[in-house]
Amino acid sequence: MKSEVISIAIQKGGSGKTTTAINLAAYLRNQGKKVLLVDLDPQANLTQSAGLQEEVEPNIYHVFKRLAAGQDAPVDFSLFRSNDMDIIPSSLDLAMSEMELVSIFGREKLLQQHLREARKKYDFIIIDCPPAMGMLTINALTASDSVIIPLQAEFLPLKGMRNFMKSMETVRKNLNPKLKVLGFLLTKFDQRKIMNQRVASQLSRQYGDKVFKTRIRTNIALAQAQEKGVDIFSFSRRSNGAEDYSNFGEEVLNRLR
Ligand SMILES: Nc1ncnc2c1ncn2[C@@H]1O[C@H](COP(=O)(O)OP(=O)(O)OP(=O)(O)O)[C@@H](O)[C@H]1O
Ligand SMILES: [Mg+2]
């Protein structure tokens, strides 16, 4: 199988992007795949969820800096290994990239360029995006083959999602025609909540089988695992979170076949 670069993105904060990035990566790792995680969020939540300190260097910020200066930045340059997964970490410094990249020629394609070599070494590259539609997310979408869009089943995310889809169309038109939506993933789902059910059926009406059958239930173990810096399968193999992310991972692999 050729390598697949997947962005986990939506501009709404707290939608489950980071949780999905780390646990999808862990599922794929458990299936024997070679996985690279890329933390593209200055909040560095993924970096911490993977068990690394927040301020590890060199990180993705230094990668962007070198690329923007026309310097070489091999993938190994910023590579860390934790819990049997490779990760390019992030740090608060990355917030400066949004501004620093503005005047750089080809600024939208820096990450794509950076991952070209990595594609030869990994089966999957998973990019955790920040909760904003800025230069970092545009870099992620430009570098990706597909996008997974996690959302909490509430009214507002659904509205924000339409704006996100518009921005994605623009990226597709101008920067990356082959970008595809792999699917929408409902997170923090509670079957008992009327609003959750309502949004789920509205989403299905609008996007049909683009919506993953698996819904990630609200499960405290997912938050606890993240806090401990491990994935859900290492933290609590029998939890609902592990079951849901395992089913989800299987669906992802099936969709890519
Ligand atoms: N299914 C779930 N059940 C319970 N808690 C969850 C679940 N999914 C995520 N969380 C928790 O909700 C919070 C937000 O999730 P997460 O960090 O994955 O969202 P995010 O979209 O990456 O947020 P941001 O936009 O700030 O980067 C975290 O504390 C996480 O542990
Ligand atoms: Mg996040």
Q: Is 24 touching ligand 1 by the criterion CB < 6 Å?
A: no
Burial of 252 (0-12, 13-18, 19+ CB in 10 A): buried
Average pLDDT over residues 60-80: 92
31: helix, strand or coil? coil
For residue 66, the CA-to-ligand 1 centroid distance in Å is 31
CATH of the domain at 200: 3.40.50.300
pLDDT confidence of residue 53: 81
Which residue's CA is minimally distant from atom 25 of ligand 1? Answer: 13
For residue 14, the CA-to-ligand 1 centroid distance in Å is 5
pLDDT class for 51, splitting at 50, 70, 90? Answer: very high
pLDDT > 70 in the chain, percent:
99
Q: Is 228 touching ligand 1 by the criterion CB < 6 Å?
A: no
Would you say the C-alpha torsion 4, 24, 40, 91 has a positive or negative sign? negative
Q: Is 215 touching ligand 1 by the criterion CB < 6 Å?
A: no
Q: Which residue has the higher pLDDT, 75 or 222?
A: 222
Asked if 40 and 139 count as a contact pair (C-beta separation under 8 A), the reply is yes
Q: Which residue has the higher pLDDT, 153 or 185?
A: 185
What residues have CB less than 8 Å from 123, skipping those under 6 apart?
Answer: 1, 3, 4, 28, 33, 34, 35
For residue 19, the CA-to-ligand 1 centroid distance in Å is 6
pLDDT class for 232, splitting at 50, 70, 90? Answer: very high
pLDDT higher than 80, residue 179: yes
Question: For ligand 1, what atom is nearest to the CA of residue 188?
Answer: 1
Backbone angles phi, psi at 182, to 5 degrees: -75, -35
In which domain, by residue range, is 50 found?
A: 4-256
Length of the chain in terms of residues written: 257
- β-strand pairing of 146-152 with 180-187: parallel
Asked if 90 and 40 count as a contact pair (C-beta separation under 8 A), the reply is yes
The pair of three-digit structure tokens given for residue 111, joined into one six-digit string: 């990450």
pLDDT higher than 70, residue 39: yes
Average pLDDT over residues 170-175: 96
What is the rounded average pLDDT for all residues in the chain? 94
Which of 15, 19, 40, 214 to mutate for ligand 1's pocket (most ligand atoms within 8 Å of CB)? 19
Burial of 4 (0-12, 13-18, 19+ CB in 10 A): buried
pLDDT confidence of residue 155: 75
Which residue's CA is minimally distant from atom 16 of ligand 1? Answer: 16
pLDDT confidence of residue 188: 97
pLDDT confidence of residue 203: 92
CA distance 160 to 151: 10
Hey, which residues does 151 pair with through a beta bridge? 186
pLDDT higher than 90, residue 167: yes
The vertex-226 CA angle with 118 and 59, nearest 5°, equals 35
The vertex-114 CA angle with 66 and 97, nearest 5°, equals 50
pLDDT class for 154, splitting at 50, 70, 90? Answer: confident
pLDDT higher than 70, residue 1: no
CA distance 26 to 36: 10
Which residue's CA is minimally distant from atom 6 of ligand 1? Answer: 223
Q: How many domains does the chain have?
A: 1
Q: What are the pLDDT digits (tens) for 113-153? A: 999 999 999 999 999 999 999 999 999 999 999 999 999 98
The vertex-107 CA angle with 185 and 114, nearest 5°, equals 70
Asked if 80 and 86 count as a contact pair (C-beta separation under 8 A), the reply is yes
Torsion of CA 99, 100, 104, 106, to 10 degrees: -70
237: helix, strand or coil? coil
Least reliable range by pLDDT among 11-25, 45-59, 213-227 = 45-59
pLDDT > 90 in the chain, percent:
87
The pair of three-digit structure tokens given for residue 50, joined into one six-digit string: 């993977």
Ligand nearest to the CA of 151: 1
